[in-house]
Chains A and B, each alone.
Chain A
């Protein structure tokens, strides 16, 4: 944007939403006035810019920031190292330690202004040192300081020494328009408030594996093998916690199951690094909502991490203010994931209060009980997944995987009974059926996720489903399909176990109130009617 274009933009501007901010630079700011107004006008905004008086940046940094004022700083190398100011000439001698200490002090003053937008112009420095390579290294260190503060780097070509010496404005004529655009961009950018709470899932997020299925010895969270990705994630959480981020965990699990890994000492994080570890089979959104209330924090300050897109969708829909981030399934997605997560919790200055925040909040959450409120309606989300449920009759052929599922699944398990292959074989020879289901959706195949053993008298004696596919209504669709077949099951052999609360919830919904262990009859007509919608979520196939 050149002078005449800027003039025209300003003179023809009809007015717009005000954009008020302080433009702070140590040099002469007035040449920017027209261009800043023009850049704002181009965005339909009426710039209301205040400039710092010439050469007063250092004093301004030592005054407390006004939280109601948007500040945009255009920083030069000599704002960190005054000895490097061209206007003072080449200094007779410099002490590098003093230079670096002064630069660090300025950086810490800038860091305190968490809401300020920083632009850095890496202008060349006068020859400060006898060895030019030291000068180049020092210039790079100043640039790193600025980048560390989150400054946006401007092109070095924007600096004009002649103009700086004559008028005090460090930006040359052709660049003033472009720098003004950058300034207005910074001033107009929405303020990203740092988040305060990170709520993490546990299975396949904090560690690899399912704790309820594989036990503490079966999960992996150490720096080796499949656990490495999760170890790195734990290390980030450990750093964030030290910087004052509040950690919490929510997991579809039993409470005593999920704490075992923390007590084993095999994880980087301990139980007391979390203000709460909420294990329940109710909607995660309900747990997060309750947590926010107990902590008296706005949901806008929450971040939720889960590997399961359905859980992520549920929380997103129920709690739109919560920022949801999906844990990567592959190591090569880890860098972007960690960058995104870290950027949500920028901490320029860490105080003693930050470090003690977790303990303070833990005291507030003493006695918190899991919330049993319903979560979000995920119908639309699940429809968009384009799921295909393929039912397999494993009565003949390879039943290995199905039997394995029955024997290793704990949570979604009808009665916790383990079966030998001989026992299965005997049931099948007697006229029973072994069914399984594989699930696929637009993201890929989830493999064999469900197994169901039905005796000859149409009693379901084993019914398991992988907890990886919780929340997708797979179990409802399957039982509804089963109920609609010729010769439907009459009922289920139910028994409560320490781990099968999820199945209990399902059974309660499908068959009504339970009266202890034993045979639970199934009203197939009612099941088919009530869960027709669940069937509609899938393309049902029979293999």
Chain B
């Protein structure tokens, strides 16, 4: 993943989870972030789809419960 793409991903995570602009999200996990609830997760998946032009299968969405998992998932696919 390029630096630019990673930066975009982090910005998306902060925006959808309503975290401060300087929050370090690289260690963010569902259980560890209070604002990461069901609705926020749906918004996060949609935002990632919209930003990176990918379609995330529902079964995969369930597994993407941390920033690291999302990053690994996106690295596995082709990014613009």
Contacts and interface: CB of A to CB of B under 8 A. Distances in A.
A294 B66 CA distance: 74
29 contacts: A2-B53, A3-B12, A3-B48, A3-B50, A4-B11, A7-B11, A31-B50, A35-B50, A160-B55, A162-B55, A162-B56, A162-B57, A163-B46, A163-B55, A165-B58, A166-B58, A166-B61, A172-B49, A173-B46, A173-B48, A173-B49, A173-B51, A173-B53, A173-B54, A173-B55, A174-B49, A174-B53, A176-B46, A177-B50
Interface of A: 2-4, 6-7, 31, 35, 160, 162-163, 165-167, 169, 172-174, 176-177
A6 B12 CA distance: 11
A7 B47 CA distance: 10
Contacts of B61: 166
Given A173-B46, A173-B53, A162 B11 contact: no
Given A2-B53, A3-B48, A165-B58, 4 more contacts: A3-B12, A173-B50, A174-B53, A176-B46
Contacts of A169: 46
CB-CB nearest 5 A-B residue pairs? A173-B49, A173-B50, A174-B53, A3-B51, A3-B47
A160 B61 CA distance: 16
B28 to A, nearest CB: 17
Contacts of A160: 55
B49 A163 contact: yes
Contacts of B57: 162
B23 interface: no
A31 B51 contact: no
Given A167-B46, A173-B46, A4 B51 contact: yes
Contacts of B56: 162
Contacts, number: 51
A7 B15 contact: yes
Given A7-B15, A167-B42, A2 B50 contact: yes
A162 B56 CA distance: 8
A167 B38 CA distance: 12
B72 interface: no
A14 to B, nearest CB: 20
Nearest to A31: B46
A42 to B, nearest CB: 16
A91 B28 CA distance: 43
**A interface SS class:** helix
Contacts of B54: 173
A4 B12 CA distance: 7
Contacts of B55: 160, 162-163, 172-173
B53 A162 contact: no
Contacts of A7: 11, 15
Contact of A174 (B8, B50, B58): B50
B4 to A, nearest CB: 11
Interface in B27-57: 42, 46-57
Contacts of B15: 3-4, 7
A79 to B, nearest CB: 22
Nearest to B56: A162
B26 to A, nearest CB: 18
Contacts of A4: 8, 11-12, 15, 51
Contacts of B51: 2-4, 173
A176 B50 contact: yes
Nearest to B15: A7
B72 to A, nearest CB: 19
Nearest to A166: B58
Given A4-B8, A4-B11, A7-B15, A162 B50 contact: no
Nearest to A161: B55
A165 B61 CA distance: 13
Name, among A2, A6, A163, A172, the residue most crowded by chain B CB atoms within 10 Å (CB to CB): A2
A25 to B, nearest CB: 16
Nearest to B43: A31
Contacts of A31: 46, 50
Nearest to B53: A174
Nearest to A5: B51
B64 to A, nearest CB: 13
Nearest to A176: B50
A2 B49 CA distance: 9
A165 B8 CA distance: 27
A31 B58 CA distance: 16
A134 B70 CA distance: 43
A68 B54 CA distance: 39
Nearest to B47: A3
